[in-house]
Structure 1
Amino acid sequence: MPVLRTVRRPREFATRLDSRIESTPLARAFLRAYLAGMARGERYADIGELLLGELFANAVQHSDAPPDRLVEIRFAVVTDRLRLEVHDAGTGHPDLRPSRSPEDEHGRGLLLVDELAERWGCCPRAGGIGKFVWALVAPAPGFTDLAFGRTPKLITV
Structure 2
Amino acid sequence: MPDSRCPRAFAARLDSRTASTPLARLFLRAYLAGLPSGERYSDTAELLLGELFANAVQHSDAPADRLIEVRFAVVGDRLRLEVHDAGTGRPSVRTATADAECGRGLLLVNELAERWGCCPRSGGIGKFVWALIAPALTPPSAPAALAV
Q: TM-score, normalised by structure 1?
A: 0.84
Aligned to 2:12, what secondary structure does the other structure show? Answer: strand
Give the one of 105, 109, 113 matched to 1:113: 109
Structure 2 regions of 5+ residues with no counterpart? Answer: 142-148
Aligned to 2:23, what secondary structure does the other structure show? Answer: helix
Give the one of 129, 136, 140 matched to 1:133: 129
* Deviation string, structure 1 residues 70-95 (Cα, Å, up to 9, x no partner): 00000011100000000000000001
Q: Partner residue of 1:47?
A: 44
Displacement of 1:105 in angstroms is: 1.3
Aligned to 1:142, what secondary structure does the other structure show? Answer: coil
Q: Partner residue of 1:79?
A: 76
Q: Separation in 2 of the partners of 1:35 and 1:94?
A: 26
1:20-39 matches, within 5 Å, as 20-39=17-36
Q: Separation in 2 of the partners of 1:84 and 1:56?
A: 10
2:39–2:139 CA contact under 8 A, matched in 1: no
Displacement of 1:142 in angstroms is: 2.5
Which protein has the larger Cα radius of gyration, Structure 1 or Structure 2? 1
Q: Partner residue of 2:58?
A: 61
Give the counterpart letter for 2:112 in structure 1.
L
1:6-17 matches, within 5 Å, as 11-17=8-14
2:16–2:66 CA contact under 8 A, matched in 1: yes
Give the counterpart letter for 1:34 in structure 2.
Y
Paired residue total: 139
Give the counterpart letter for 1:85 in structure 2.
E
Q: Considering only aligned residues, what root-mean-square deviation do their CA atoms show, in Å?
A: 2.0
Aligned to 2:16, what secondary structure does the other structure show? Answer: coil
Aligned to 1:30, what secondary structure does the other structure show? Answer: helix
Give the one of 85, 94, 97 matched to 1:97: 94
Give the one of 15, 24, 41 matched to 1:18: 15
